[in-house]
Structure 1
Amino acid sequence: MQNIDYWIYNQSSYGLAELADNSISALVTDPPYGISFQNSYWDRDLPDKQIWTDSLRVLKSGGFGLVFSSIRLMHRLMVSLEDSGFLIKDVLFWAYLNGMPKSRDIALDIDKELGVESKVVGQYTYVQGYKKGGAEDYYAKEGKNKHEPTSKTALKYKGAGLGIKPAYEPIILIQKPLEKGLTVAKNIIKHQVGALNLEETRIPYEEGEGKVGHNPHPKGRVTANILRTEELNDGYDKFFLVPKVRQHAEDFNIHPTKKPTHLMSHLVKLVSFEGQTVLDPFMGSGSTGVACIENNRQFIGYELDKTYFDIAQKRLEIAKHQFVC
């Protein structure tokens, strides 16, 4: 075990003044999506392009990054990343089946517009994935009445909505250009970065499964750009499986968009190697940092919100005691 450590800052990451040029091996971050998730103040806008310019400065030449985004605004984030000097290499899709539809029954709005009272048909008792205080004004909670439309026009549009159920989350794979004049091999020799860690992220063969391909690797298949929460069972394609976070997995972690450590572990291993330093300028509750400690990487994180910073600090302390001490 190497001497693994972490450095976290309860402040804005803009500027990254604490970090030297060309000092970071990889970037893994889950920034604000700009979609006002659960009406959260920190998610009202996409990050300013400055943070990507700052990240480019501190990354080593050839270093890779993974940036979470939303389906609706991914294109704008990709433009910001490109304008800052990054190369767009791929988009990974974290596919899941339990996404929450961003919609409502528009027929009830039609009743309201027509001045007609909708009919109460019962009460909601449970909505998966939400804690008290998260979204009472927008989503059904225990004790809230369930309605159905009553006007003729509304009945025609009963169940109509404004969007389909989201079933994936995009993760943009980026790279800082290689140092001018260097091949990939020369860049790796000089900067220790410039290639993805495919060996450590291979998908193992299932027990009893026959190996496939003209030259099957003993450790399994190369990881794909689709990450799933459940098996596809198509008889051939295999994907990295990672479930979404369930509530109360950590009672003290109240961050509304926390990512599974299992997922972050896979991503950290993909863009870095043991002993290298990974940066997360939007640390949240620290899942990237926990994944780094578990996988023998150094970690640097920034989080402006004191509540989430304290949660991250606690999680990192627990992880270091568990995996390093």
Structure 2
Amino acid sequence: MSKPTLYNKSCYGLEDIEDNSIDALVTDPPYGLGFQNHEWDKGHVPEKQIWEDSWRVLKPGGYGVVFSFPRLMHRVMIDIEDSGFILKDVLFWANLNGMPKTRNIALDIDKELGVESEIDGEYNYTQGYIKDGADSYKVKERKYRRKPASELGKKYAGSGTNLKPVYEPIILIQKPISESNIAKNVIKYGTGVLNIEDGRIPYSLQERGKKIGHNPHPIGRVPSHILRYEEMNDRYDKFFVIPKVRKQKDLFNYHPTIKPIELMSHLISLVSFKDQLVLDPFMGSGSTALAAIIKERNFIGYEKDKKYFDISQKRIDIELNQKLI
């Protein structure tokens, strides 16, 4: 395994990478939602060109996983499919702790009717995810909590326009094989199959040593397309449990959409094998790179934002130094 190769520039073109040289694609591109008003996430999903570029550099049969968002996932999937990839599946990372993105429309009804909504208590407005790091959460101001005063407003009290987001879709894709069958493709390129063994879900502490199912595997369960966060109290753990990252976990990493290293490690394990080469065109603060190091894969990553690129380098240097101790 070599040291990760990082490029502080746009990924479009991937001119640094040879055709048919990448074993797997693992990436978390901008969703196009304008998240927290960040410029890099405004207005549109990634341009189709990056999927055409990725198709060019991936080996025949190579798999990829691409994060997206339910509302715009279809646009990303169309661009990916039109670029030549096979859409294999959609994995669901169920984290259950997303931020609600709605408002009480009853208060807007009051406003439209010229009625002043009633004060119903006070609360502290807290702002986080700013550049000072994990300890930067601070109370900005005291605000009033209000409730509708008009009769029509009361009828629609608590109504809204969106559900709370509790999962993120991860699109599983594959470049078509070039040989007459999968076995020949694996022999020639080392690609064309998922690494089911490395991606198995370990048994829970309660399950270990017990007979699970009709034909239990000694390592664990076959990975599924649901990756969940909280237990379902269903007597045994069928899915991979991965919480969202909290800012306090990393004192210098203030990227607003950090992905858990455990999640990226699981995905890398699933779509690649030891010593293979993984590409992330939208590297962000480097979680995929760290996962590649942990899982003993080679890595190439692109990140055009210098701030996040520097964070990636720092995190990678820390991880590599720990491995040398």
What range describes the TM-score normalised by the shorter chain of this pair? over 0.9
- Give yes or no for contact 1:118–1:148 (8 Å, CA) kept in 2: yes
Corresponding residue for 1:9?
A: 7
| 1:16 to partner: Cα distance | 0.2
Once the two structures are TM-superposed, the CA of residue 278 in structure 1 deviates from its matched residue by: 0.6
Give 1:247's aligned residue.
247
Aligned equivalents of 1:115 and 1:208: distance in 2? 60
* Runs of 5+ unmatched residues, structure 1: 135-139
48-57 or 115-124, larger mean C-alpha shift: 115-124
1:32-84 per-residue CA deviation (whole Å, 9 max, x = no partner) reads: 11111112211121000000000000001100000000010111111110000
User: Which 10-residue stretch deviates more, 8-17 or 149-158?
Assistant: 149-158
The two structures, once aligned, show a CA RMSD in angstroms of 1.9
For 1:61, what is the secondary structure of its paired residue?
strand
Alpha-carbon displacement from aligned partner over 1:96-140 (angstroms, at most 9, x marks no partner): 22122210111111222223322333333366x943589xxxxx9
What's 2:135 paired with? none
Report how far residue 295 of structure 1 moved: 1.1
2:201: which partner in 1?
203
Equivalent AA in structure 2 for residue 26 of structure 1: A
Q: Secondary structure at the match of 2:308?
A: helix
Q: Name the structure 2 match of 1:137.
A: none
More strand by share: 2
Mapped to 2, the partners of 1:320 and 1:142 lie a distance apart of 42
Partner of 2:123: 124
Q: Which amino acid aligns with 2:8?
A: N
How do residues 120-269 of structure 1 correspond to structure 2 at under 5 angstroms?
120-125=119-124, 130-132=128-130, 142-179=141-178, 181-209=179-207, 210-236=210-236, 238-269=238-269
For 2:20, which of 13, 22, 41 is the aligned residue?
22
Between the aligned partners of 1:124 and 1:31, the Cα distance in structure 2 is 35
Q: CA separation in 2, counterparts of 1:156 and 1:132? A: 38
Mark the CA change 1:240 to 1:126 in structure 2 (over 3 Å): closer, same or farther.
Answer: farther
Q: 1:225 to 1:141 in 2, by over 3 A?
A: farther
- Counterpart residue identity of residue 261, structure 2: T
The answer to whether residue 299 in structure 2 is matched with residue 279 in structure 1 is no
- The one-letter code matched in structure 2 to 1:122 is G
Which residue in 1 is equivalent to 2:136? none
Q: Match for 2:40: what amino acid? A: W
> How far apart, in 2, do the equivalents of 1:324 and 1:141 lie?
43
Other structure's SS at 2:76 match? helix
Structure 2 distance, partners of 1:323, 1:224, is: 31
* Distance of 1:163 and 1:208 partners within structure 2: 38
TM-score between the two structures when normalised by the length of structure 1: 0.92
Instruction: Determine which of 37, 41, 46 is the counterpart of 1:43.
Output: 41
* Pairing 1:80–2:49 present: no
User: Is the Cα–Cα contact under 8 Å of residues 66 and 174 in structure 1 kept in the other structure?
Assistant: yes
Runs of 4+, deviation exceeding 4 Å: none
In the alignment, residue 99 of structure 1 is paired with which amino acid? Answer: G
> SS state of the match for residue 200, structure 1?
coil
Residues 106 and 157 of structure 2 are in contact (CA less than 8 Å); yes or no, is this contact kept in structure 1? yes
Structure 2 alignment gaps of length 5 or more: 133-138
Alpha-carbon distance in structure 1 between the residues aligned to 2:302 and 2:185: 28
| Deviation by residue 1:171-212 (Cα, 9 ceiling, x = unmatched) | 000000001x33111111110111111111111222342333
TM-score where L is the length of structure 2: 0.92
Distance 2:67 2:101 in 1: 19
CA–CA distance in structure 2, aligned partners of residues 153 and 208 of structure 1 = 53
- Report how far residue 237 of structure 1 moved: 5.4
SS at match of 1:4: coil
Cα 1:76–1:324 change in 2 (3 A) is: farther
Contact 2:27/2:281 (<8 A) preserved: yes
Are 2:203 and 2:237, in contact at CA under 8 Å, matched by a contact in 1?
no
Secondary structure (helix, strand or coil) at the match of 2:220 reads: coil
Query: Number of aligned pairs?
Result: 316
Cα distance in 1 between the residues matched to 2:12 and 2:215: 46
